[in-house]
Amino acid sequence: MKSWHYLGAVTLAAMLAACGGDDNNETDSANETGDSVAEVTPASIKLALSGRYQAGSFDASAAEIPAYDAASQRLFVVNAEAGELDVLDMSVPSAPEKVGSINVSAIAAGAEVNSVAVKNGLVAVAIEADPKTDNGFVAIYQADDLTLLDSIEVGPQPDMITFTPDGMTVLTANEGEPNDDYSVDPEGSISIINATDTGSLTVSHADFSDFTAADLRDAGVRIYGPGASAAQDLEPEYIAVSADGATAWVTLQENNALAKLDIVTATVTDILPLGEIDRSQAGKGIDASDDDEVIDIKTWGGVVGLYQPDAIHAYSANGSTYLVTANEGDARAWGEDNDAYWGEEADDSEDPPVLCEPDASQGFVEEFRVKHLVHTDGFDRRCGDDMPPQLRELAAGALLDPTVFGYCGAVAGDPQDCRDDDVLGRLNITWTAGYKTDAAGDPVMYTAAGVQDDAGDRIMYDTLYSYGGRSFSIWDEDGVQVFDSGDAIEQFLAGDDCKLGSDRSINCKTWFNSGHDESGAMDSRSDAKGPEPEGLTIGVMGEKTFLFLGLERMGGVMVYDITDPTAPIFQDYLNSRELWDGEDPDNGNLAGFGDLGPEGLVFIPASDAPEGKPLLVVGNEVSGTTAVYEVEITE
């Protein structure tokens, strides 16, 4: 019996328990040798780096989403930089080799590849138009010879694509983001493509026209884009499909919700708000500052996290369907590089004086630091710098409710120590929610001294909404949470048992919450979304189901046994970034840095793997690498 010991597994498993797919594999099938491969039920599993393909570019999204075809033993990897799919030979997992590419320029000029899915020897590609606000396309190719079978128009910006389990239907999440100045904001949608006849595709679309902004807001869904209808504001991100292929769930990341889809009728039947994670509760704290260069994970009264999941997968357990989400978080930031949006910085020394005149019609940026939000001098001091004009239209400044934030010194009219860099000052939040409102939803106004007064020009925040859960969650099919990992991921990364590098020789806490595109950056992401769980996939081995969770910023893959949805058990963490201190990776030493910025993941069961051993493949968008890991099994 093969066995291994991983320090900390028992510790974190206990911690997780205290806190509260579309990958298919079949048993006893054959690999390329024709030998029968039995799918055993592991006692536990662990990852080991097997091989890697380097696309040769840094921070250019040259390796994003991988998909695998067992018959041809090929990987299809989204290379957004090249605007195509890289086709890799996986017959030797330790040495994947590029053997071809799929270019989509013939389908639409200037088009980009956003996502890929593979099923039954077919490769489905999601293609974004130029400009992205135009309708996109889906194309179907043969996996073995890369022949284009057909293509069809779908909604704007198809961001993710997947097959139903029977391979007869293809779904795309059409995100429908606005253009940079928000002058064009297409409606989000889900396209349902009948692929029964791959030479003659047909499509239907599920939209959100039956939902109103007011009703969704009342239900707890974030609808907040400037002038947007509900259909424009809802932005589908990622899709999970039930085992019977009848139902899909779609993450609406910026809206902090899920859409539930009846696939047969192409109808969105419900929108499920996900709520918030209360950062005042034990086991749900965060490290909120990137400026203190220390690990300081703790609870914060008045602070909540919006789950805002990116990837989602469905799986079956105990006769029911469950949904797993990677709670990355995301802010809307349109026009942030447009000087007209921010206005020109005021200068009283000029004759005549230069006035700061921002233009709210030129964009929309919702992210703001706490220290800038609640400064006693108000907002105008930041005009022309980073003051969103829509916020300035609300008020001349903002306050913290002293009854909520008194613990960090807030008094009427003055946040005092709460806005210090080593307290809450550096935390990025959304200014669009959390201030006190009246029954009509309008802001309650205060004087600069903190006295409620209709003639006042200040708003008062009693809740600070930060981005992302810094966690993964498991939900039932109606969006009711059955598990959330809370602060367990950050606590593990801060602990002595966590190691970095493919040889596990570097202490994680030395580079806690590092960025994915820089060196020597300990703690640099604590003010934002922490380690940012973004991508995930699920693997079924024997009688157990395992979650593979990619951390976008800190990097690496966390592994859990999620067979019992209410009590996941930590298995392993492997981060195959090799260099952490020294020159930045964009200076040319790409090979030495290893893998940075995991984006998409695909599990390959032993029955489909080239050498009869289960594999995990990860596309790393920052390093431009496709990493292949062997899933080592303890029986």
Domain identity same for 159 and 270: yes
**Domain's final residue, options 413, 430, 465:** 465
Domain membership of residue 344 (yes or no) is: no
Domain identity same for 114 and 235: yes
Domain membership of residue 342 (yes or no) is: no
Nearest-angstrom CA–CA distance, 293 and 281: 24
CA 170, 175, 177: angle at the middle one, nearest 5? Answer: 155
Nearest-angstrom CA–CA distance, 475 and 308: 14
Q: What is the pLDDT of residues 94-141, one digit of tens each?
A: 999 999 999 999 999 999 999 999 999 999 999 999 999 999 999 999
CA 470, 429, 128: angle at the middle one, nearest 5? Answer: 70
Domain membership of residue 496 (yes or no) is: yes
Instruction: Decide if pLDDT at 214 tops 60.
Output: yes
Domain identity same for 443 and 383: yes
Residues contacting 49, CB < 8 A, separation 6+: 502, 574, 576, 627, 628, 629
Instruction: Decide if pLDDT at 256 tops 50.
Output: yes
Positive or negative: CA dihedral 507, 513, 519, 520: negative
Contact 239, 162 (CB under 8 A): yes
Q: In the prediction, which pLDDT does 9 show? A: 36
Confidence (pTM)? 0.93
Q: What is the pLDDT of residues 326-357, one digit of tens each?
A: 999 999 999 999 999 999 876 667 666 667 89
Q: In the prediction, which pLDDT does 589 show? A: 64
Burial of 5 (0-12, 13-18, 19+ CB in 10 A): exposed
Q: What is the pLDDT of residues 43-75, one digit of tens each?
A: 999 999 999 999 988 888 899 999 999 999 999
Domain identity same for 536 and 591: yes
Range of the domain at 405: 353-465
Domain identity same for 221 and 179: yes
**Domain's final residue, options 430, 465, 500:** 465
At CB < 8 A and 24+ separation, what contacts does 218-222 make?
219/271, 219/273, 220/273, 220/275, 221/252, 221/255, 221/256, 221/257, 221/271, 221/273, 222/254, 222/255, 222/256, 222/257, 222/306, 222/433
Tell me the CA distances in angstroms from 304 to 262, 486, 588, one per residue in order. Answer: 32, 12, 40
Q: What is the pLDDT of residues 419-465, one digit of tens each?
A: 999 999 999 999 999 999 999 999 999 999 999 999 999 999 999 99
- Kindly give the residue spans of alpha helices, DSSP state H, lying in 485-623: 488-493, 590-593
Domain membership of residue 441 (yes or no) is: yes
> Residue 24's closest CA among 41, 34, 39?
39
DSSP string, 234-261: --EEEEEE-TTSSEEEEEETTTTEEEEE
Q: What is the pLDDT of residues 403-426, one digit of tens each?
A: 999 999 999 999 999 999 999 999
H or E, element range at 150: strand 148-156
Domain membership of residue 297 (yes or no) is: no
Q: In the prediction, which pLDDT does 499 show? A: 98
Q: In the prediction, which pLDDT does 251 show? A: 98
- Kindly give the residue spans of alpha helices, DSSP state H, lying in 327-427: 339-342, 370-373, 389-394, 402-405
Q: In the prediction, which pLDDT does 43 show? A: 97
Length of the chain: 635
Among 201-215, 348-362, 470-484, the range scoring the smallest mean pLDDT is: 348-362
Q: In the prediction, which pLDDT does 27 show? A: 34
Domain membership of residue 509 (yes or no) is: yes
CA-only gyration radius of the chain, Å: 24
DSSP label of 587? G
Q: What is the pLDDT of residues 513-565, one digit of tens each?
A: 999 988 888 999 999 999 999 999 999 999 999 999 999 999 999 999 999 99
Domain identity same for 233 and 364: no
Domain identity same for 367 and 500: no
Tell me the CA distances in angstroms from 427 to 287, 291, 411, one per residue in order. Answer: 9, 10, 20
Instruction: Decide if pLDDT at 316 tops 90.
Output: yes
Contact 282, 228 (CB under 8 A): no
Q: Which residues of 333-364 are buried (b: 16+ CB within 10 A; e: fewer)?
A: ebbeeeeebbbeeeeeeeeeeeebebebebbb
> Residue 277's closest CA among 467, 462, 429, 437?
467
Nearest-angstrom CA–CA distance, 296 and 422: 9
Contact 46, 548 (CB under 8 A): no
